[in-house]
Amino acid sequence: MQAGTNFFLSDLKKAEPIRGWEEYWSEGQAFLKTASAAHAQRKKAFTTVILYNIIAMAIEKFVMTALMRQGTLPYNHTMRDLVAAMDETFPGAMGDISAGLLQLDQYQEICDVDAFNITGPAMEEIPAMLTLAGRLHDLVARQLMVGTGTPCR
């Protein structure tokens, strides 16, 4: 095909996966397992702020897994940016998971070092956060199965 302003989608090369996505997957699973166990055992050392952050790390690792597997990255690592990258890469796949993830941004505003704000969720909110992270885990596992033939566990 001649160089020019017109091109065909068939001319685009499929993006190669970014190395290391498997580690992100394993780390995300470990974070979710830790948060789930700590919450179930009601360990005092695991405050709601700590549980929130562990769950957020699991979510971030799952999103990074899916994006890296597709050869792309988010612009930033706020929940808003992670959701935008997932919606762009997997249009329509996130469904109502997106709204739940966006709500998680309300607990931490840490981009401005001079005016950061951290508010802990109530302990009653943690189960919904764990469920949300589990749903994202399952979604990513299904996305990663596509084209590989091997389920992610």
pLDDT per residue over 57-116, tens digit each? 999 999 999 999 999 999 988 899 999 999 999 999 999 999 999 999 887 665 555 666
pLDDT at 133 over 90: yes
**Amino acid identity, residue 59?**
I
Q: Between the CA of residue 108 and those of 69, 79, 83, what are the distances in Å? A: 28, 10, 16
Confidence of residue 120 (pLDDT cuts 50, 70, 90): confident
Q: Bigger pLDDT: 32 or 147?
A: 32
pLDDT at 9 over 50: no
Residue 31: both structure tokens together: 């974070």
**What is the reported pLDDT for 109?**
62
Confidence of residue 150 (pLDDT cuts 50, 70, 90): very low
| pTM: predicted TM-score of the whole model, two decimal places | 0.83
pLDDT per residue over 65-82, tens digit each? 999 999 999 998 889 999
Instruction: Indicate the range of 14-18, 24-28, 74-78, 85-89 predicted with least confidence.
Output: 14-18
Give the contacts of 42 (CB within 8 A, at least 6 positions apart): none
Choose among 145, 130, 152, 79: nearest CA to 109.
79
Domains of the chain: 21-145 (1.20.120.330)
Assess contact for 83 and 57: CB atoms under 8 A. no
* DSSP string for residues in 24-87: HHHHHHHHHHHHHHHHHHT-TTS-HHHHHHHHHHHHHHHHHHHHHHTT---SSSSHHHHHHHHH
**Amino acid identity, residue 28?**
G
Pairwise CA distance, residues 144 & 70, whole Å:
9
pLDDT at 12 over 90: no
**What is the reported pLDDT for 149?**
46
Q: Bigger pLDDT: 23 or 107?
A: 23
